[in-house]
Amino acid sequence: MNNYAWDIFKYCTSSEDLAFGVSYSLRSQGTTEKLNPEFIDTYANLLYKAGKTADAIKKENEAIALADPSQKQSFKDTIARMKAGQKTWE
């Protein structure tokens, strides 16, 4: 499910598609017993692309808190791009 949500994030721009991606990504987070930081990252990126920057940054910080040390910098870089108003999908 997360892979499909990520594809929506990367390739879709319409508000309807992004809203579907947000809901689909949220459901993917409930498919595992343990919270997955990559799933939360996908959700955060979809929120950001849908124009919900504050919510996206909050979720990306949750991903950082759950991430392995090797993943943390990538998520921090994503937050920096969000705060700067830059695209996170290119």
pLDDT in tens, 27-86: 888 776 678 999 999 999 999 999 999 999 999 999 999 999 999 999 999 999 999 999
CA distance 24 to 87: 21
Cβ 37 vs Cβ 71: under 8 Å: yes
Structure-token pair, residue 55: 């919510």
pLDDT in tens, 18-29: 999 999 999 888
This model's pTM is above 0.85: yes
Amino acid 32: pLDDT: 67
Which helix H or strand E contains 34, and what residues bound it? none
